């Protein structure tokens, strides 16, 4: 079934205000079916889940389980392999603090990481004495492209590497790592692989088995779901190996005054009352994306992304960071573009885009201060425009017009 862009846009009431929303990499807009799922819970079966036997808890528990199943299927995981979290950050923290890191272990990540896939590992270094190794582009290459290839990882992943924790798509640059190939290196070295999929799960078909990762973390609010929702996929055989971040009600098989035993399922990670309405909203978001089809979402974004980058490439006063539009053909880019305007601070550009044309973009360091330092942009940061399934060619055209005008002073 083909759903037209007009039909899609009708589902996003916030667009009626006339804004041009190009900040979906930070958080996406929320369609009516997701809003309805959240409201329906509070209006019709507002009850706790997994507790008691009354009629309302039975409905709520069943819907919560259904949401688990839908989200697991969306990323090719088994229902018992998905933990609901409050966001990507929480998912990564669960792994970093729970996999039993110890002195002598090595953790590998890349220059592209978001702080959420950096700080948990720095804390592990300080706490457990693990060694950290950062994969950076080869010296002498064009710094603005920030190129990372599988060969750069080959040199650092070895038998001491306990885990490789990498982003699938850089939120600051919109460019992709060759995760499948890196996964092969991990297998050869008996190393775990965590993928920060905050910027991939919303934008393309993602399958945990196809990627070959042990852990995959993502956020609901970047994929049309409510804030405060997310998922961590964990390979089934590792589920019981990981120490949960928190323990308490809902996660327990048995307890005494001196001991407890946790359940063997994802419930061991979801103690306390979860974000039930949010989880149901996330389930509705996944259904919404599936109805359109992730291949179609990806293709549409690629079209808009190309228009965006190629338009910016034509402007003398603009510098783009990361790979150019040719990377779409290689499957190494999404419709998120970072750039600077000569002689201007990125926040000033973002303010002008908003005030003069109602165009909403992100500016600053994008929670990637080490990457910005590498690019020599720690003071001014970049402007980041990101498109999603509700954006149009006309919006991108308007964006390019306004950027050109701003660039001319
Ligand atoms: C690549 C990446 N990782 C992690 C995060 C953190 O996501 P959250 O704030 O939802 O935990 C983000 C958010 O922008 C991101 O883009």
Domains contained in the chain, CATH given = 5-23+293-407 (3.90.1150.10), 38-291 (3.40.640.10)
Instruction: Name the average pLDDT for the chain.
Output: 96
Q: For residue range 199-224, list pLDDT tens digits in order.
A: 999 999 999 999 999 999 999 999 99
CA of 142 to the centre of ligand 1 (A): 26
The average pLDDT across 266-293 equals 97
Percent of the chain with pLDDT over 90: 94
Give the pTM: 0.98
pLDDT value for 2: 82
Contact 186, 159 (CB under 8 A): no
271 catalytic? Reply is: no
Work out which ligand 1 atom sits closest to the CA atom of 88: 11
Residue 222 C-alpha to ligand 1 middle, in angstroms?
A: 9
Place of tokens 């004495």: 129
Q: How confident is the model over 169-185, as a mean pLDDT?
A: 98
DSSP 37-61: HHHHHHHH----SSS--SHHHHHHH
> For residues 1 and 8, what is the distance between their CA atoms, to the nearest angstrom?
13
Instruction: Tell me what pLDDT residue 52 has.
Output: 85
pLDDT band at 1 (very low <50, low <70, confident <90, very high): low
Q: What is the mean pLDDT of residues 143-166?
A: 95
pLDDT in tens, 86-142: 999 999 999 999 999 999 999 999 999 999 999 999 999 999 999 999 999 999 889
pLDDT, tens digit (0-9, with 9 covering 90-100), for 302-337? 999 999 999 999 999 999 999 999 999 999 999 999
Taking only Cα atoms into account, the Rg of the chain, rounded to an integer number of angstroms, comes to 22
pLDDT of 409 above 90: no
382 half-sphere exposure, CB direction, 13 A CA radius? 28
Interatomic CA distance for residues 19 and 259, integer angstroms: 55
Which pLDDT belongs to residue 250?
87
List ligand 1's pocket residues with C-beta within 6 A.
87-89, 114, 116-117, 167, 171, 196, 198-199, 219
Q: What is the pLDDT of residue 190?
A: 97
Ligand 1 atom closest to the Cα of residue 167 is 1
Q: Tens of pLDDT along 373-386?
A: 999 998 889 999 99
Q: pLDDT tier at 59 (50, 70, 90 boundaries)? A: very high
């Amino acid at each position: 079934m083909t759903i037209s862009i007009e039909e899609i846009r009708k589902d996003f009431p916030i667009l009626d205000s006339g804004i041009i929303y190009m900040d979906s990499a930070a958080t996406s807009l929320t369609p009516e079916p997701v809003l309805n799922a959240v409201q329906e819970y509070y209006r019709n079966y507002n009850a706790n889940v997994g507790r008691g036997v009354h009629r309302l808890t039975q409905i709520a528990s069943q819907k919560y389980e259904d949401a688990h199943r839908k989200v697991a299927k969306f990323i090719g995981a088994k229902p018992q392999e998905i933990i609901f979290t409050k966001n990507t950050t929480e998912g990564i923290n669960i792994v970093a603090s729970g996999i039993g890191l110890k002195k002598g272990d090595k953790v590998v990540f890349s220059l592209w990481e978001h702080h959420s896939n950096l700080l948990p590992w720095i804390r592990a270094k300080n706490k457990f004495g693990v060694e950290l190794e950062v994969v950076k582009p080869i010296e002498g290459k064009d710094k603005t492209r920030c190129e990372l290839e599988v060969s750069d990882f080959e040199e650092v992943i070895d038998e001491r590497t306990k885990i490789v924790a990498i982003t699938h798509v850089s939120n600051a640059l919109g460019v992709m790592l060759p995760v499948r190939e890196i996964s092969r290196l991990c297998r050869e070295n008996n190393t775990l692989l965590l993928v920060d999929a905050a910027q991939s799960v919303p934008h393309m078909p993602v399958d945990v088995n196809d990627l070959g990762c042990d852990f995959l973390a993502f956020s609901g609010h970047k994929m049309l779901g409510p804030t405060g929702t997310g998922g961590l996929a964990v390979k089934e055989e590792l589920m019981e190996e990981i120490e949960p971040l928190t323990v308490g009600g809902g996660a327990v098989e048995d307890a005494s005054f001196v001991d407890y035993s946790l359940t063997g399922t994802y419930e061991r990670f979801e103690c306390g009352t979860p974000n039930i309405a949010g989880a149901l909203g996330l389930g509705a978001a996944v259904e919404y994306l599936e109805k359109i089809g992730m291949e179609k979402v990806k293709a549409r974004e690629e079209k808009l992304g190309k228009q965006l980058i190629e338009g910016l490439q034509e402007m003398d006063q603009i510098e783009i960071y990361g790979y150019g539009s040719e990377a779409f053909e290689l499957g190494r880019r999404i419709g998120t573009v970072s750039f600077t305007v000569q002689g201007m601070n990125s926040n000033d550009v973002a303010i002008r885009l908003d005030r003069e044309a109602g165009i909403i973009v992100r500016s600053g360091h994008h929670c990637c201060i080490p990457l910005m330092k590498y690019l020599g942009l720690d003071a001014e940061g970049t402007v980041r425009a990101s498109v999603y399934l509700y954006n149009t060619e006309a919006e991108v055209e308007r964006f390019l017009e306004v950027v050109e005008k701003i660039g001319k002073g």
